[in-house]
Structure 1
């Protein structure tokens, strides 16, 4: 069975970002795909050192748990990331992870090419669109397929559970999950 890997960048256990990912994953599973959610919480993801070793050793030289996530990405047909928005941007650990994942992919056969997915942003009030734009750069430069939805992949909420009350946001995320699954099912 084909799989979609989700990466959650929220430091809060069972916070809004985790809850939104769960909604998206439910829809992907209903459409016949396996899902797995990986959490960056508790990991200390370092920034890329631009050492170039990934081209020689076929993985990142930094040993902080990201190589295990990279292996899961390689095995998946879909890749979705979700982040809370802090000061109008994605969390730094997610950006550090994506930059390193991109370098490893580009130096090892472009394994991200043709994977289906995209970003999700969750915030109290604003900054989601700039965060989505920031994250889309990763998907587009890595030759990935990003399906649309009925709106941008953003949900509003601050306190735990508030994001699930954003009915339009949740509908958007569920449709996005459906589109990701549909595309993967048509491609494979």
Structure 2
């Protein structure tokens, strides 16, 4: 069975972001996609210190939730990252987690399906949405979309439940993501995976 990891970057396990993510869980269940929701926003997760140790040992030197979830990420077919908007950007905890997770893991993420979900009272959603999507596009993941930007509005979970268009977008996002996971699995079996070139690394150390 295909599986999607769902990361809640909010410190509130039952807040606005969680409400949006749970709307997706219901659709994944109906589509036969296994889900695991992981609460991260209330964890003490430090940022990357650029030590380069992960290149030697194949995992982050700080043995915390990053290494634990990395194993699950490798086996998963997709990932949903949800975050509240803090000063027009994602929660700092989820950013620290994603920086280390994506940089320290040596396995291929190519064609895993990613989706970001953001919640805000009013503004900053699209800027936050943009930041989260860049983790996926940096490593060849397929990015799922809904029928609007993947966002909900509200100050409380009860407010989000009134955002009917936002919740509709979450359901459509989950349906699209489910379709993409199944379609990519079928295409891999039929055609194999695309060739990925490596080796070119743009750098201009001579200053020219």
| Deviation of 1:147 (Å) | 2.0
| Deviation of 1:64 (Å) | 2.5
Aligned to 2:117: 120
What are structure 1's unaligned runs of at least 5 residues? none
In 2, distance between residues paired with 1:25 and 1:84? 18
Taking the TM superposition and a 5 Å limit, the aligned residue runs for 1:44-63 are: 44-63=44-63
Q: CA RMSD in A?
A: 1.1
Secondary structure of the structure 2 residue equivalent to 1:70? helix
| Deviation of 1:170 (Å) | 0.6
Deviations 1:99-139 (A, max 9, x none): 1111123xx13x32211021100000110000001111111
Secondary structure of the structure 2 residue equivalent to 1:22? helix
Change (3 A) 1:65 1:128: same
Deviations 1:146-188 (A, max 9, x none): 1221100000010232112100011111101111111111122
Aligned to 1:79: 79
Residue 177 of structure 2 corresponds to residue 180 of structure 1: yes
Structure index of larger Rg = 2
Q: TM-score, normalised by structure 2?
A: 0.86
In 2, distance between residues paired with 1:112 and 1:176? 20
Secondary structure of the structure 1 residue equivalent to 2:157? coil
Moved over 2 A (4+): none
Aligned to 1:27: 27
Taking the TM superposition and a 5 Å limit, the aligned residue runs for 1:5-20 are: 5-20=5-20
In 1, distance between residues paired with 2:138 and 2:41? 26
In 1, distance between residues paired with 2:5 and 2:25? 9
Q: TM-score, normalised by structure 1?
A: 0.94
In 2, distance between residues paired with 1:82 and 1:42? 13
Secondary structure of the structure 2 residue equivalent to 1:161? helix
| Deviation of 1:12 (Å) | 1.1
Residue 141 of structure 2 corresponds to residue 144 of structure 1: yes
| Equivalent residues, number | 185
